Amino acid sequence: MELKELKGDNGEGVDSWKEVTLIYSAALRQMETKMGILNDEFQHVHQYNPIEHIKARIKTPESIVKKLKRNGYESTIDNMVKYINDIAGIRIICSFTSDIYRIADMIAEQRDIKVIAVKDYITFPKASGYKSYHMIVTVPVYLSDRTVDTTVEIQIRTVAMDFWASLEHKIHYKFEGDAPEHIKNELVECAKLVSDLDARMLSLNDEILAISKK
C-alpha cells in the first residue's frame, strides 16, 4: 500500500495523513498522561497502583486501507476518520479483574472524555475465549486554531489476558484467520486456565488485604 491511497478531498494525501497522525498521536499522549495521573492518585489514596503498564499505538496506513476495503469503503482520509474507531489505540494492563472495572469507571468520570461505546468481553467472552474490556471514547485535542474531538479505542485487561491475546493474535495472522481446529480448541482451554488463574489471584489478593487490615 502506498500512502497516496489515503487521500483527502483536496488530494493531498501525504499532508492530510501527517495532520491526522499528529492529532491521533496527541490524543494518545493525553490519554497516557491522564492514566498516569489517575494511577499516581490511586497510589496516594489507596497505596496501590491498579495499572501495571500502558501500550499505545497508531494503526498503520496498510491496516487502515485493508479495513476500509474489507468494509466496502473507499480509501480516503474522510472515510478513515468517520468509519474506523481504532486508529488510535491504548491498551491498559492491570493485575486483577476488579481493576478493569475500576479503571473503566475512572475513565468514564473524566469530564472531557466522552464514552461512545463499550464492549464487555470480560462478562461476555468471545467464542475463542478472548476476554478484554473495550471502550470507544473521544478526547479533545486542542490545536492552535481549533479543538478536535478525537476517537480512541481503549482496551483494559489483566496481564494474563494480555498474554493469551498476544498468542491468539500471532496465531490468527500465522494462519490468516483459519487456524487448525485442534489449535483453536487448545486456545479455548488456555483461556479457561487464564480465567481460573485471574480468579484465584484476585481471591488471594483479597485475602492478603483482609489480613493486612486486621
Confidence (pLDDT) at 8: 56
Under the banding of pLDDT at 50, 70 and 90, the label for residue 107 is very high
Confidence (pLDDT) at 15: 54
Q: Determine the average pLDDT of the residues in 165-193.
A: 89
Confidence (pLDDT) at 5: 58
User: 157 with 97: CB under 8 angstroms?
Assistant: no
- The 10s digit of each residue's pLDDT in 41-54 is 988 888 888 999 99
Cell of 134: 473495550
User: 141 with 31: CB under 8 angstroms?
Assistant: no
Cell of 157: 485487561
The chain-wide mean pLDDT, for the chain, equals 89
Q: Residue length, the chain?
A: 214
Q: Determine the average pLDDT of the residues in 153-162.
A: 97
pLDDT at 99 over 70: yes
pLDDT at 2 over 70: no
Q: Determine the average pLDDT of the residues in 187-202.
A: 94
Q: Determine the average pLDDT of the residues in 118-141.
A: 96
Q: Determine the average pLDDT of the residues in 105-121.
A: 96
Confidence (pLDDT) at 131: 96
Task: Tell me how far apart the alpha carbons of residues 121 and 104 are, in angstroms, rounded to a whole number.
Answer: 13
Closest C-alpha to 10, from 90, 78, 103, 64:
78
When computed from its CA atoms, the radius of gyration of the chain, rounded to whole angstroms, is: 19
Task: Tell me how far apart the alpha carbons of residues 214 and 113 are, in angstroms, rounded to a whole number.
Answer: 39
Q: Among the listed ranges 6-10, 34-38, 95-99, which one has the minimum average pLDDT value?
A: 6-10
Spatial CB neighbours of 174, under 8 Å, sequence gap ≥ 6: none
Distance of CA 54 to the CA centre of its chain: 10
Domains of the chain, start order = 3-160 (3.30.460.10)
Q: Determine the average pLDDT of the residues in 20-38.
A: 94
DSSP-derived 3-state class of residue 134: strand
- Give, as one character, the DSSP assignment of residue 60: P
Confidence (pLDDT) at 175: 82
Residue 167: how many CA atoms within 13 Å on its side-chain side?
Answer: 16
Confidence (pLDDT) at 158: 97
Confidence (pLDDT) at 43: 87
- Give, as one character, the DSSP assignment of residue 7: B
